[in-house]
Structure 1
Amino acid sequence: MSIWILLGAPWVLAIALTAVLPALADRFHPYWQAPVAATLALMMAISTWISMVAGASILLGHPGVMGRIEALSLIGICAGLLLLALRHLLRVRMSVRAGRAIRCGAADKDGAVVIVEDDRPDAFAVPGRAGGLIVLTTGLTAVMTAAERRAVIDHERAHLRQRHHFHVQAVELAACLNPLLRPWTRVVRLAVERSADEHAARGGRGNAARAIARAALLCAHAQPAPGCRITGRPSDVRARVLALTHEAPPRQRWYMLALAAVIAVLISAQTYLAADIAQDRFAPERGEPLSTVIG
């Protein structure tokens, strides 16, 4: 029974944290929300997936037919989720290649800004090894003031410098491995936008709010450009603008980061034990008696 408690623990944790996710996310500064949530989501996704593999390995050892059927069902689910994750990674690879094509011929240095002749209003950041690229269209720059353009550039530059594309793709990968974690994707996407907004607000919160609101309205119907872009939900714009009309969020409380670190350590320990169980069942080490296997 203790082994099933061990294997079920990450599922209970994932469900519990997802249930309180909105309230929990509010306890973190926007700068920390994305990396903390993305890291925990990916760790829980890996832990739950490995726990299913370990559970299947145990059920395969049962003499009854039902045990084998349940094991094969778990293996099928694990394989399906893994295929979803691999498909996502392939999409990311294609997106990275598209981003490389956009950067081709441009000044590929940290935060370089390129103005593209295009009547469609748009602004986006294209990540890259050398720091990435910020692309603005003339359709957007022509209708914005200099201060608003600076706020938009600062917003996109924050995406690049804070590596927000890694956080977004990590939580999307986690949702592929464990669909119960899908609500985490919205939290992370909103968090990266809020973090970039706060960076842009250093030049004035009112100006940043106007720039973000205007850019969101103008770009609402723009065709997404290829590349590994950072995009939030249109419905989040109101929350972002409203946040900028208030004072800057307080500094991050250290004990919340410590709590997140403790949870990460516990997840890591459970993942290691679950992986060891699966390894002992599928490929026991030479000379290791079955009596040493947990359970």
Structure 2
Amino acid sequence: MDERKDVTPRSRARRSRGGLRHAGAALVLVGLLAVAGCRHEDPPPPPPPVAPIQILKIIFPEGFTRQEMAERVAAVRKIAIENRNVTPRLDRAGYVRATAEAKPPTAFRKDWPGDRIEGFLFPATYEFTKRTTARKLVRDQLAEFQRQWRKLELGYARSKNLTPYDVLIIASMVEKEAVAPEERKLVAAVIYNRLRAGMQLGIDATIRYGRNVPGTESLKESDLESDDPYNTRNRLGLPPTPISNPGVASLRAAARPATVDYLFFVRKPDGVHHFFTASEAEFFSKKCEYGFGC
């Protein structure tokens, strides 16, 4: 009998099927190992959601002084902490420091006395976040002041030999004296006319500023007779600095007052409007009539 290996088609099929069985088993084993390996590598957890940055707002009304703005910063910070669960970097002490270090725009530095930034802290609504610094807020106020100032036409004021800083000082007084919007230009005209006539301005708001007397308190005789540089009852000319931070309407009125000859005004009993006149006798008559002394 021939001892050569069986090479018939049937034997070749058997060997082929055996090879497939071994190959299939190997593939299954590799697949199982791959699956097992994947089970040990859990996907990373998703990142935590990022909390949106809360936008806060602070409103500085027209006519606020630097001191009043510092108090407003403190009040808004307290509200943010208590009502919004946010603790801002912005605080009163930081605002006081930032305003003490601030400088006015270059165009004003020739006339600026160098110790008060009053007048340049533009009153408006400003947005801030918990990360906003006091320096950033003050920079925003100074930038807004410059933006609004560039819109003014100063030709009339220059024709009266007034500097830009003079106009700003006048605007700060208008802001404090005029309550009715339509009277801003009239108040500004009285200031222009009295300066031209060489008269004391006699504006008590300047005395209040210099003596730090709030509007809720009456001025004392000692305040009215003081030698304070802001006492425009006994000193000629403008006070040394603005006495408030005026808004756009007062800036415009100071740059271009009404064309009238008024030299006096006295507040009417409604507490809003004024009586204007060029006559001193008529001024004293109305002052007596309105209960301000005869």
Q: TM-score range by the shorter chain?
A: under 0.3
User: Quick check: which has more Rg, 1 or 2?
Assistant: 2
Please, what TM-score do these two structures have when normalized by structure 2? 0.26
Please, what TM-score do these two structures have when normalized by structure 1? 0.26
Which structure exhibits the higher relative contact order, with contacts defined as CA atoms closer than 8 Å and separated by 6 or more residues? 1
